[in-house]
Structure 1
Amino acid sequence: MVNQRSQSSITNSESFTNAPVLSVQGLGRKIQNQWLWQNLNFELLPGERVAVVGASGCGKSQLLRMIASLDPIQAGYIFFQGKSIDAYYTPNYRSQVVYLHQRPALWEGTVEDNLQQVYRLAAHRHQVYKRELILNYLQLLHKPADFLQRPVSAISGGESQIVAFLRALQLSPLVLLLDEPTASLDVATANCLEALVAAWQKEDIQRAYLWTSHDSAQLQRITHRQINLESNE
């Protein structure tokens, strides 16, 4: 069985006093009738940058997928902005609580086609493509504007991950669930994506994220608190 522990290293100058963006209560996850963890409880407050850590196989990805409403809740409850996630239309919820991992799936066409395609989905038809925002993000990533015209069939794995990040962040989500998103990237690209997430968060003080990584140095740079999934055995 796995329990949950939180260790905080928030400095005195950082204050998170608003209501939680996300709240997890009594959450449980099992695989083949064996519980990975039970009675998991924590809150994600506005502006927080939180690492989810633990040994391989302890269920970090499963936790993020459950919060993203990609896997069913087997025990317990998840609340987003004070309401059960079951109360939300799932596509709308997933546009505000976005799961990103290291193997993105892209549509055929150019990079910009991929970014614009999102707005053809029913859940996002009320929004408009923000090219200026994307160009600002590309500057942070040290990418030229003509990157948007490149076919996705001709870009690298790291560039595919950049497209996935841009596609998600353009929707202005409130929470990012980052599941080893830079694990297969070179250091320069990983650093650029860290900067991109930091820029996204600075745009709105309510935004927060959970990040898993086997790179402890990365987690020290980009998070200020940890949620530890630990085995009792």
Structure 2
Amino acid sequence: MVVTDNSEVETPALLQARNLSRKDPLNGHILLYPADCTVKRGDRIVLAGASGSGKSVFVRTLALLDRPDAGQLILHGKPVQPGDACRYRAQVAYIRQSPVLLHTSVQGNLTFPFGLAVNRDKKYDRQKIERFLQAIDRPSAFLDKDSGTLSGGEKQLVCLLRVLQLDPCLLLLDEPTSALDESTAQLVEKLIEHWMHVNKQQTATLWISHDEQQKARVGNRLWQMKSGRLTTDEIAGRQA
């Protein structure tokens, strides 16, 4: 799909979705009605909605973890092509609720992505990781811990570090702290805020959260999902 609205193209958009939709492949039931949205640099978007409203369906589709049935994604002003999925997911990173780690050390988990073809031009930077750890008051010795000895919160932090070190432009956060206690959840928030700061607010986040206090802490925009239909704050503003 070609974007013809010049005023929109000229905005500093990281990601745009146009008429993005998805159906259940088994029965054809509509899971996501055609959705339009724009994510800009510095955005901290909260995606709200009742359980089962389609929030995760939308975010997974936006991450290209589930293939959309129709619509167009535009990253940094360029339409995303079918063969771009791996490179796209390196830029638009999805963080799930339940962390998954390799059975090795923390550092082993962090170095693993650099063996993948999509990251062949990147190198593991231990000093960069140590700066992230300093931001959340963790010693460098944390890197030597075995992943099997980590708490749920520590595992989520490692998953975040594994993604953040690769310099994505957008984080899609699918209830990443829902299973964590409040203090650990705020550590996750602190790490993400540090990432935003070191990137000079040129990156963005989209959070799914049911915690009202967390929404207030992490969000500067509010989107709503209801029965598979997305309402963004831009649309809400035009309707007001």
- Tell me the TM-score normalized by structure 2: 0.85
Q: 1:45 aligns with which of 40, 45, 62?
A: 40
Q: Give, in whole Å, the separation in 2 of the partners of 1:82 and 1:115.
A: 30
- Asked if 1:134 is matched to 2:94, the reply is no
Partner residue, 1:228: 224
Partner residue, 1:24: 17
Following superposition, the deviation at residue 91 of structure 1 comes to 2.0
Following superposition, the deviation at residue 232 of structure 1 comes to 9.4
Secondary structure of 2:81's counterpart equals helix
Secondary structure of 2:124's counterpart equals coil
Q: Give, in whole Å, the separation in 1 of the partners of 2:126 and 2:153.
A: 21
Letter in 2 for 1:29: R
Partner residue, 1:215: 211
Percent same amino acid at aligned positions?
A: 37
Q: Give, in whole Å, the separation in 1 of the partners of 2:94 and 2:185.
A: 17
Following superposition, the deviation at residue 75 of structure 1 comes to 2.2
Q: Give, in whole Å, the separation in 1 of the partners of 2:128 and 2:19.
A: 39
> Stretches of 4+ moved more than 6 A in 1?
none
Following superposition, the deviation at residue 22 of structure 1 comes to 0.7
Secondary structure of 1:64's counterpart equals helix
Partner residue, 2:193: 198
Secondary structure of 2:191's counterpart equals helix
Q: Give, in whole Å, the separation in 2 of the partners of 1:107 and 1:151.
A: 10
- Are 1:182 and 1:190, in contact at CA under 8 Å, matched by a contact in 2? yes
Q: Give, in whole Å, the separation in 1 of the partners of 2:126 and 2:57.
A: 34
Partner residue, 1:79: 74
Following superposition, the deviation at residue 82 of structure 1 comes to 1.5
Secondary structure of 2:154's counterpart equals helix
Q: 1:168-205 CA deviation, whole Å, 9 max, x = no partner? A: 00001100000000000111111111011111112223
- Asked if 1:154 is matched to 2:161, the reply is no
- Higher relative contact order (CA closer than 8 Å, sequence separation 6+): 1
- Are 1:18 and 1:46, in contact at CA under 8 Å, matched by a contact in 2? no
Following superposition, the deviation at residue 87 of structure 1 comes to 5.7
- Which stretches in structure 2 are left out of the alignment for 5+ residues? 1-9, 230-240
- Tell me the TM-score normalized by structure 1: 0.88
Q: Give, in whole Å, the separation in 2 of the partners of 1:95 and 1:177.
A: 12
- Are 1:36 and 1:58, in contact at CA under 8 Å, matched by a contact in 2? no
Q: Give, in whole Å, the separation in 2 of the partners of 1:232 and 1:113.
A: 39
Q: Give, in whole Å, the separation in 1 of the partners of 2:30 and 2:84.
A: 29
Query: Aligned pair in 2 of structure 1 residues 184, 177: CA closer, same or farther (>3 Å)?
Result: same
What RMSD, in angstroms, separates the aligned Cα atoms of the two structures? Answer: 1.8
Secondary structure of 1:182's counterpart equals coil
Q: Give, in whole Å, the separation in 2 of the partners of 1:177 and 1:203.
A: 18
Following superposition, the deviation at residue 33 of structure 1 comes to 2.4
Q: Give, in whole Å, the separation in 2 of the partners of 1:89 and 1:95.
A: 10
1:35-184 to structure 2, matched below 5 A, reads: 35-86=30-81, 89-184=84-179
